Amino acid sequence: MKRRRTEITVETSLLVWRRAGQRALLSCATCASPTPLIAPDEAAALAGTSTRTIYRWVEAEQLHFTETPDGRLLVCPNSLPLSIQKEQIS
């Protein structure tokens, strides 16, 4: 009896929607980047990891971040690790 093998390929993509009024006006003071800072959940989506991991990286000071006067955490997207580095940090 001859066995059949079926190979399934799954392609994924990331799409992040931002409302015009939600853009942070602050830029990263650490790397002097003109890129607007982003929320931890958006940083997690861009890095392909969980929000909790983003908070762990912030606590370990492995990401550039700031806190707004109202207590919101904002992350510099330029400080997000590459996918290869991501496994080494966690």
pLDDT tens digits, 41-77 = 999 988 888 999 999 999 998 999 988 888 899 999 8
Place of tokens 């550039």: 64
- Angle at the Cα of 34 from the Cα atoms of 66 and 84, rounded to 5 degrees: 75
* Residue 73 or residue 16, greater confidence: 73
- Domain membership of residue 85 as a residue range: 24-89
Cβ atoms within 10 Å of 41's Cβ, excluding its own: 13
**Considering the entire predicted model, what is its pTM?**
0.63
* Residue 3, in any domain of the structure: no
CATH of the domain at 45: 1.10.1660
The mean pLDDT of 32-44, rounded to a whole number, is 86
- Angle at the Cα of 41 from the Cα atoms of 16 and 28, rounded to 5 degrees: 90
- Angle at the Cα of 14 from the Cα atoms of 10 and 19, rounded to 5 degrees: 155
Six-digit token string for 80 = 């997000």
* Residue 1, in any domain of the structure: no
Fill in the amino acid letter for 50: S
| Tally of domains within the chain | 1
Q: In whole angstroms, what is the distance from residue 31 CA to residue 9 CA? A: 39
* Residue 47, in any domain of the structure: yes
